[in-house]
Amino acid sequence: MLGETHDILHEFPNLEETIRNLHHNDPEFANLMETHDSLDSEIRQLEELNQPIDDFKMEEMKKTRALLKDQIYQYLRDNP
């Protein structure tokens, strides 16, 4: 859905405490999360403002966001 929020705290609300702890204490996790959330924000802005962008580029951005989300989820599973 256009403009839907996919930031990490919205994606994993049941892991909010773990996410906040890792974001504060683990620079690698913080970098992954900030990269994901920044990309998510960019995608939402492009969708909401109907900015002209190549469909291939948009799909690549969404695939990258999904890959980052998978990496973050794995990180959360490995660091409860």
Domain range annotation of the chain: 16-78
Quickly count: other Cβ atoms within 10 Å of residue 48's Cβ: 10
Q: Is 22 exposed, middle or buried (0-12, 13-18, 19+ CB in 10 A)?
A: buried
List pLDDT tens digits, range 9-19: 888 889 899 99
Q: For residue 36, what pLDDT is reported?
A: 94
pLDDT tens column, 23-39: 999 999 999 999 999 99
Q: What is the pLDDT of residues 34-71, one digit of tens each?
A: 999 999 999 888 888 776 777 889 899 999 999 999 99
Binned at pLDDT 50, 70 and 90, residue 3 comes out as low
